Amino acid sequence: MRKLNMKIYILLICLVLISSVFLLSGCSSSKNLPETNESAPPVVKQEVNALTFYDWWTSASESAAINSLIKVFTDKYPSTAVMPTPVVGGAGYTMIEVIKPLVLAGEAPDAFQMHAGYEAKPYFDAGLLEPIDDIWQSENLENVIPVVIRDMCKFDGHYYAVPVDVHRSNVVWYNKPLLEKNNIDPNSIKTWDDFFAACDKLKSAGVKYPIQIGETWTASHVFEQILASQGIDFYQDVVNGKVTSASDPRLVKSFEIFQKYLSYTNPDASGNTWDVATKRIIKGESAFNIMGDWANGEFKIVGMVYGQDYGSFAVPGTSNMYGLVVDTFQHPKGVLHPTNSDNWLRVVVSKDGQDAFNPQKGSISVRSDSDISKYDAYQQSAIADFKNVTYMYPSMVHGSGAPGSFLLKLNEVIAAYVNDLDAVKAATALTEETKNISSQYTKVWYLK
Ligand code: GAL
């Protein structure tokens, strides 16, 4: 029995040895094989002539604007196939959810729409953006782009994005015939009291909802302008994470104004996109809408004329201020078409690119050498204000001003507030969040 076992044991060892030798020789022989056409191609990313990018410009005027920019690109690079992926959803909240996991997984397109400032930080921190100082230098951008915008495109002293536009956030849009019909002079509206008096007048004349508002981010957008209306000192404290008391009188006052504001708005806000809210002003269903000047694009594209059919004034209390919303593109690391990515960035920030995109978008060029004749009366006044206003402030709701987690909390708080109007709960949640994430306020804003 033992002898038999021993025989089987020896046989097994032989089998193992033989198969090991076979396997090893197989491995080594394949290593030594000369390369043939049948062998698998080496994994090298081939640059084909295409450009892929993501954006959230899907309203009528936004699409027209990005198409004009693409045309400038294809005129210059006719053999490059441009493949945009537009993702519906104002202010980019939907697109950001789509793009972030792609970029973090190393699957970024050649470029994507991104607000300047904090919104880029997660990508920068993860080392997923190429520094593009060379583009800023070769295109001589520091000479034509003001320092406030330059700073928003930088991390650790290096450029990681190029701006495509400057939007103004603190604008009240109005339907001119509707105000005229009700003897309301928009030039006389300077304070929140003036504004609410005009709303009362409209209401008593039968305008059910004098103000249009939309989904959560548009309510947060309004609230942000109300914060700014409490003064640049306060706004600076907010973006620097310094407002940590729920009973801060400036915060309390902001919620008071917001509550009053909401008493004049449409009840179907949550299902209302920003461009539908703007269309209701266009149609004269409501008189006012606080919105960034991408709304200007929507008035224009239906043929309305600024100063004749519609108009605008600064959000009460902010006439010496310019709320900044800046869209950018960048060069993510490891993209499939790096040359086209750079070509795109150069076109985006070029004079021709800016002057094709911005006149339709409603915004102004980031460049001081833009062709002003291409811009409408609103934009020409915005260009003058951009040069002359006393204070600029970065939008939080549009990605630049505050850490991403504060923005998430702000939208959550505002979504709850428009339903329950519980100012103490809202102010407590915001200030608690500010304290909890204090280490994330890595940028110090000097707004004065
Ligand atoms: C902003 C963006 C603008 C405009 C707007 C509405 O965040 O900066 O370019 O697109 O959203 O979608």
Same domain, 221 and 259: yes
**Domain-located, residue 1:** no
Same domain, 299 and 360: no
**Domain-located, residue 61:** yes
Q: Which two tokens stand for residue 162?
A: 């190029």
Same domain, 318 and 346: no
Same domain, 109 and 254: no
Q: How far is the CA of 4 from the centre of ligand 1 (A)?
A: 83
Distance CA 446, CA 237 (A): 10
Q: How far is the CA of 328 from the centre of ligand 1 (A)?
A: 11
Find out whether 221 and 172 touch, Cβ atoms under 8 Å: no
Q: How many domains does the chain have?
A: 2
**Domain-located, residue 23:** no
Distance of CA 159 to the CA centre of its chain: 18
Quickly count: other Cβ atoms within 10 Å of residue 319's Cβ.
Answer: 14
- The pLDDT score that the predictor gives to residue 8 is 39
Q: How far is the CA of 42 from the centre of ligand 1 (A)?
A: 42
Query: In this structure, which residue's CA is closest to atom 1 in ligand 1?
Result: 91
Q: How far is the CA of 198 from the centre of ligand 1 (A)?
A: 28
Pocket of ligand 1 (CB under 6 A): 56-57, 62, 90-92, 167, 274, 294, 325, 327, 398
The β-bridge partners of 83 are 52
- The pLDDT score that the predictor gives to residue 9 is 39
The β-bridge partners of 394 are 324
**Domain-located, residue 6:** no
Find out whether 47 and 336 touch, Cβ atoms under 8 Å: yes
Query: In this structure, which residue's CA is closest to atom 11 in ligand 1?
Result: 91
Same domain, 307 and 342: no
- The pLDDT score that the predictor gives to residue 48 is 84
| Among the listed residues 353, 350, 346, the one whose alpha carbon sits nearest the alpha carbon of residue 70 | 353
**Domain-located, residue 253:** yes
Show the domain range for 65. Answer: 47-163+327-365
Same domain, 342 and 316: no
| Integer-rounded Cα radius of gyration of the chain | 28
DSSP 436: H
- The pLDDT score that the predictor gives to residue 43 is 55
Same domain, 157 and 181: no
Query: In this structure, which residue's CA is closest to atom 7 in ligand 1?
Result: 91
Distance CA 384, CA 143 (A): 19
- Spatial neighbors of 223 by CB under 8 A, at least 6 apart, are 254, 258, 410, 414
Number of the ligand 1 atom closest to the C-alpha atom of 361: 9
For position 92, which CATH number holds?
3.40.190.10
Find out whether 409 and 400 touch, Cβ atoms under 8 Å: no
Full DSSP string of 321-368: EEEEE-EEE--BTT-S-HHHHHHHHHHHTSHHHHHHHHHHHTSB-S-T
Q: Ligand 1 pocket test: pick from 325, 358, 364, 407 the residue with the most ligand atoms within 8 Å of its Cβ.
A: 325
Q: Which two tokens stand for residue 10?
A: 């020896």
**Domain-located, residue 94:** yes
Place of tokens 């690391």: 333
- Spatial neighbors of 225 by CB under 8 A, at least 6 apart, are 169, 170, 290, 315, 318, 323
**Domain-located, residue 28:** no
Q: How far is the CA of 113 from the centre of ligand 1 (A)?
A: 10
Instruction: Using DSSP bridges, classify how beta strands 288-290 and 171-175 pair: parallel, antiparallel or unpaired.
Output: antiparallel
Same domain, 290 and 347: no
**Domain-located, residue 384:** no
Same domain, 177 and 141: no
Helix (H) or strand (E) holding 275: helix 274-282
Query: In this structure, which residue's CA is closest to atom 12 in ligand 1?
Result: 90
Same domain, 191 and 257: yes
pLDDT digit string (tens) for the chain, length 448 residues: 333 343 433 333 333 333 333 333 333 333 333 333 445 555 555 678 999 999 999 999 999 999 999 999 999 999 999 999 999 999 999 999 999 999 999 999 999 999 999 999 999 999 999 999 999 999 999 999 999 999 999 999 999 999 999 999 999 999 999 999 999 999 999 999 999 999 999 999 999 999 999 999 999 999 999 999 999 999 999 999 999 999 999 999 999 999 999 999 999 999 999 999 999 999 999 999 999 999 999 999 999 999 999 999 999 999 999 999 999 999 999 999 999 999 999 999 999 999 999 999 999 999 999 999 999 999 999 999 999 999 999 999 999 999 999 999 999 999 999 999 999 999 999 999 999 999 999 999 999 9
Quickly count: other Cβ atoms within 10 Å of residue 275's Cβ.
Answer: 20
Same domain, 286 and 199: yes
- The pLDDT score that the predictor gives to residue 434 is 98
Same domain, 247 and 336: no
Provide the strand spans (E) within 234-294.
Answer: 288-290
